[in-house]
Amino acid sequence: MKTRLLFLFISLALFSFQASEPLRVFLIGDSTMADKVPADYPETGWGMPFAHLFNEAVEVQNHAYNGRSTKSFRREGRWAKVYQQIKKGDYVFIQFGHNDAKISDTSRYAAAQTDYRENLTRYVKETRSKGGIPILLTSIQRRKFDSTGTFVDQHGEYPQVVREVAKQEKVLLIDLEKISRAQIEKLGPDLSKKIYLHYPAGIFKKFMKGVVDDTHFSVYGASWMAQAVASAIFDSNEALRSFLEKSAFSQKFQYELPLVAGTAFKKDTFSIVSYGAKSSPTLLNTAAIQQAIDLCSAQGGGVVNIPTGFWLSGPIVLKSQVNLHLESGALLQFSHQSKDFPLVKTFWEGVEAIRAQSPISAFRAHNIAISGAGIIDGAGEAWRPVKKGKLTAGEWTNLVKSGGVLNETKDTWYPTTGALKAASLDRPGVVAAGWTVDKAKEIKEFLRPNMISLIECEQILLEGVTFQNSPAWNIHPLLCKHLTVNQIKVKNPWFAQNGDGIDIESCEYVLVKNSSFDVGDDGICLKSGKDEEGRKRGRPSAHIWIDHCQVFHGHGGVVVGSEMSGGVHDLYVSNCQFLGTDVGLRFKTARGRGGIVENVYIRDILMKNIAGEAILFDMYYQGKDPLSTFGNGEKKPVIAAMPMNEGTPQFRSIWVEHIRVKGAATGLLIRGLPEMPVKQIKLLDVDIECDQAYRAIEADGIDLEQVIFTKTQDRKSELYHVQHWKFSGKELTLEKENH
């Protein structure tokens, strides 16, 4: 991180004079690099997104052109146009090879060991003759696997010649052949398709008959390759690295931010009405909706349309290539009858468990969406227990009159006697505790489902829809990759137990943006499995960006844990507001969880009326607060350390910048373990109005720079067993008459 910041300062010092005369980067090569016209969409050359990874002091000129080789690029005069512009300090990126190998085309063919080698050498020397800096790139691998799923190389000698010329001429080499091959092999025969142009008929104008092209890039593939080139530049000693664009997060460059592959669907529309669905508050449309989904998927995908109206349904299963679209005015209401929801083996709070089937689920589906402007309602009131203290007297009376049963102390309502019975059992429904589908039937109503359950799915879009009134968690993607959540609303009653907004568990490459959450538990939550089962799974939640979201009510705004045994890393949170949540930024875990939470970047957060802590790092979740018995006294708490093992959790390397808070009980609370303190937390430019500024126990390397705590009460801050504490801000107390 220090290296990155150093180069930022160098770039400002050495290259500020170039504002009027930018440093130029010339790209010469073939179609994988070239600019495309709008009519070519979604075909994209990597040179197109590459230009956006540099700051304004760099001008990227893309002269690459479809079908060109080292030979034809020069013969057609394209090199001459570049050569005449090159000035001292300019860069020329040289990437050829695909078309040089076309032995049947004499206008392009250049034999690897003779003409191709000579042409590359000539480009390098001519660039240097003008004071330019050449960079050689090997060709990007084409995607090809044999019948056994083994990758098949198609480049022959050409990449090795590039490597040899780079070594001979002492030129920076960016080995895209190796980089692309490693990624293709990592993704495998199916998932690697998203890098290239693999689309069915009827989606894009240029490819109305469909396309299977394993050479040219999709938007995602081009963007990924551009990031790989930028990363190689940063790892080099070239001055060009100093011009890489910084992201909104001061510790990261633009090319390092998460990249999420999008979805694309055929225009074909399957209306649920065509399969017998009727708008009615009493008629179940489960079969009609499921038939539309099944046929749509079987015929190559498209849009399953839910028109304006009241559509009652039991659980439905989303299939690959299907966009479930709710028109404005459409209400997809799920049944209040538990008999409509069979018990299934699934996951709950990070472990394998028996639960009622989710209203909407998908398993190993690819390219799916729930979109539109309608409402999905999970009938949560038929499933949830309710505590008396969370309702008014009138609300409680009406709830009791509606049916159900009360517990022995008459302060909690349950929908059935089975649900009440399960509340006193040890780990009800958990497979490891011996529960099976048959055994769980008597406590079915206790095993309430998450409303949206997506397991091992890839390329998912949730957009525009209101998701409300879930039985348990509202939206639960598990072991998914490439999820985009945009402009959705998530709503649950504030008293809804386990009524989380979205729980992103063991997922990678996720973007949650422009969305609002008003719920009964955590708003936006990151998880990765629980205890030994989560560690055994070993799948972190990673490369996640939460941007421009609001949480109006909930136990936490953005939350990590407590089930984070597989780890959470490379999490980005920006431009969010938490209004009336119990906690703002909430990191929670406990002994036995294990897992590492690290490389978290948070900035530009506004909070108001936070009941508890604005920023919390807590390793005693659901355990006794080790500070609570010491109040504001001077006595140091003594807490026994436990042996370090795989169940020891870790919080470290977290940056929090530009935070404003109006009203919180505590500004910053840190509770680490004696054997594992919370480490390397940086707060910069933070302004918090609170009752108490900070409380910390078992922490190491806490840096508070430009941090202001304005206290509304004269409560003393507390530090116990904290090493390397740096506080360069202010701690003020408001006078009562001014507050």
Catalytic residues: 521, 555
| Cβ-based neighbour number of residue 107 at 10 Å | 12
Pair of tokens at residue 545: 């960006």
- CA 386: distance to chain centroid? 33
Tokens representing residue 244 in the block: 């890489």
Is beta strand 541-547 parallel, antiparallel or unpaired with respect to 508-513?
parallel
Classify strands 412-414 and 386-387 as parallel, antiparallel or unpaired. antiparallel
Peptide bond into 42 cis (omega under 30): yes
**3-state class (DSSP) for residue 260:** coil
Q: Which of 61, 66, 107, 68 is nearest to 84 (CA)?
A: 61
Q: How many CB atoms lie within 10 A of CB 229?
A: 23
Q: Is the dihedral of CA 206, 212, 217, 220 positive or negative?
A: positive
Separation of alpha carbons 635 and 701, rounded Å: 23
Residue whose structure tokens are 């080995």: 175
Burial 359-390 (b: 16+ CB within 10 A, else e): bbbbeebbbbbbbbbbbbbbbbbbbbbbebee
- The HSE-up count of residue 524 (CA atoms within 13 Å, CB side) is 31
Looking at residue 410, its amino acid is K
Q: Which amino acid, 683?
A: L
Q: Report how far residue 129's alpha carbon sits from residue 288's, in angstroms, rounded to the nearest whole number.
A: 71
Beta bridge partners of 704: 683, 727
Q: Cα dist. 629→43, 632, 637, 665, 721 in Å?
A: 63, 9, 8, 17, 16
User: Residue 470: helix, strand or coil by DSSP?
Assistant: coil
Contact 627, 580 (CB under 8 A): no
Nearest to 614 by CA among 657, 561, 668: 668
Looking at residue 170, what DSSP letter applies?
T
Distance CA 658, CA 367 (A): 36
Reported for 109-116, long-range contacts at CB under 8 A and 24+ positions apart, including other chains, are: 109/69, 109/71, 110/69, 110/70, 110/71, 112/156, 112/157, 112/158, 112/161, 113/157, 113/161, 115/70, 115/71, 116/70, 116/158, 116/161
Q: Strand locations in 590-639, DSSP E?
A: 596-618
Residue of 686, 617, 626, 684 whose CA lies nearest to 652? 617
Backbone phi, psi, residue 62, to 5°? -100, 105
Q: What angle do CA 232, 234, 238 make, to 5 degrees?
A: 95
Q: Exposed/middle/buried for 549, CB within 10 Å: 0-12, 13-18, 19+?
A: buried
Contact between 407 and 306 (Cβ < 8 Å): no
d(CA 120, CA 162): 8
**Integer CA distances (angstroms), 304 to 208, 368, 526, in order:** 20, 11, 30
Residues facing 572 on adjacent strands: 545, 601
